[in-house]
Chains A and B, each alone.
Chain A
Amino acid sequence: MKAIVTVVGKDRVGIIANVCTALANYNVNVLDISQTVMQGYFTMMMATEVSQCNVPLAILASEMEKIGKDMGLSIRVQREDIFEAMHRI
């Protein structure tokens, strides 16, 4: 199962490092990253493989949201299917 991780917030040192470390701790493999900084705002999207994740996806989503809050960022983890369903026939 794949999930999309979206990180949005004010740019600062160590965002990618912190997010990737947290994902690694949950045994989530990062497949692809696309990232830009627009007017000081950091926007990153990661395609990840969550099949081997060591917690249920709902928990992963809540935990990553918390980690985001601590860093002043919005982090969300959503199953890829929702985007596929909406944008691909």
Chain B
Amino acid sequence: MLNQKDILQTQDMIDKRHLDIRTITMGISLLDCCDPDLKTCCEKIYNKITRCAKDLVKVGEEIEKEFGIPIVNKRISVTPIAIVAGSCETDSYVEIAKTLDAAAKTCGVNFIGGFSALVQKGATTGDWKLMRSIPEAMRETERVCASVNVGSTKAGINMDAVAEMGRIIKKTAEVTADNDGLGCAKVVVFANAVEDNPFMAGAFHGVGEPECVLNVGVSGPGVVYHALQGVKGEPFDVVAETIKKTAFRITRMGQLVGMEASKRLGIPFGIVDLSLAPTPAVGDSVARILEEMGLEVCGTHGTTAALAMLNDAVKKGGVMASNHVGGLSGAFIPVSEDEGMIAAAEGGTLCLDKLEAMTCVCSVGLDMIAVPGDTSAATISAIIADEAAIGMVNSKTTAVRIIPAPNKVVGDRVEMGGLLGSAPVMPVHDKSSEDFIARGGRIPAPLQSLKN
């Protein structure tokens, strides 16, 4: 029989250390919903999503009860809409975004991802239509998330799309100015986007995926933080080992819940995303883990090394706990969603340049960062280009989710509410990147040998 210590430890992780399943995300292919007629296409999309995901929330809630572990989010990702709607005779895809929103509400999920386009090497007519529909789609919908992949290690960086996305993000902020530019929190620009990511806002259901699949994202920064408190002053070998063991336990929860949910929903189980995803709650912060390693404040010298070790140990621990690993796997550093990151940014220790360096060694990238409302589209494009370059050269996923908060200046705070948290407005460099972005074209794919 299990011993008391094991049982109490598990319950302690859930009750006091914020251990939870961050999301179960159902990926649904919409490739069979293509139609030249927009209305028919929308009908097909709505019917397919509501049919496939009708039991998702119910099953999630049952499992929560039976296992006694919270499943914070139940979500849906779909085939990139630029592909599905490519044959539609229309100039705008806003109606499709509204359809996705309605389907999400019917199913009871809090986000639906896949209002997306993959343009790393070039954009089709449909891709351009999708990108240009983003601002209005973000204003008109509540639960739809958009993403655009602008670069990859194999294709290089599509600088025309990078330039366009700078303008799109500015416009999205303007049209959602009533909510401090909240629309931008649902738009992410990727390099090397993955097809099986369960996390928002970047989730979409890739074309190499099955008809319908269930992916899981786990979370437990609080559990790792607590474990590290037990090894104060020990060398990094011990720290890495402690993180690995903890990550193993956390990931096993994800594997168990994912298998159970996919069995009940009658769909294949996809992957566990070995993530360390923070929330704004105190005690659920990635920044605090880095500080526990011996840094006075997250963002100071040594932060990149600490994060690199954390990220690697999380993956090593998680890999053995799961039969299929995928998604964005690694530690997330979304500023507004992490209590410790917010404090470090407000204190001035954590700046945009340091965050950029940190994204070289962890999952994803410049995430949930608020910048002054007067930041130019070219500067935003340049920030995107920098991140995409890091992803392209290092063969990893990087992303930018940035909020140029209308009428806000450095020192203000943007309140987004709920899991999105609140972001301190951070300074950007004031020197222009205008001419650089105006060039357009494509940055060639990097050499994969002679690595220096």
Which positions in A face B, CB cutoff 8 Å?
Answer: 4, 6, 32, 34, 36, 43, 45, 47, 56-58, 61-62, 76-87
Contacts and interface: CB of A to CB of B under 8 A. Distances in A.
Interface of B: 1-2, 4, 6-7, 9-11, 61-62, 65-69, 249, 252-253, 255-256, 260
Contact of A84 (B2, B66, B68): B2
A87 B62 CA distance: 23
A43 B8 CA distance: 10
Given A4-B7, A76-B11, A82 B68 contact: yes
Contact of B2 (A61, A62, A80): A80
Contacts of B6: 83, 86-87
Given A32-B1, A87-B2, A79 B11 contact: no
Given A4-B7, A6-B11, A82 B1 contact: no
Interface of B is mostly: helix
Which among A6, A32, A84, A86 has the greatest number of chain B C-beta atoms within 10 A? A86
B68 A58 contact: no
In the complex, the 6 A-B pairs of residues with the closest C-beta atoms, listed nearest first? A58-B65, A78-B68, A87-B6, A85-B252, A85-B256, A82-B67
Contacts of A86: 6, 10, 249, 252-253
Contacts of A56: 62
B10 A82 contact: yes
Contacts of A80: 2
A77 B10 CA distance: 13
Contact of B10 (A47, A61, A62, A87): A87
Contact of B253 (A45, A47, A85): A85
Contacts of B252: 85-86
Contacts of B260: 81
A77 B260 CA distance: 17
A79 B2 contact: no
19 contacts: A6-B7, A34-B1, A36-B4, A43-B4, A47-B2, A58-B61, A58-B65, A61-B65, A76-B68, A77-B68, A79-B67, A80-B2, A81-B67, A82-B10, A82-B256, A85-B253, A85-B255, A85-B256, A86-B252
Indicate the member of B10, B61, B65 with the most A CB atoms within 10 Å: B65
Contacts of B62: 56, 58
B144 to A, nearest CB: 31
B2 A4 contact: yes
Contacts of A76: 11, 68
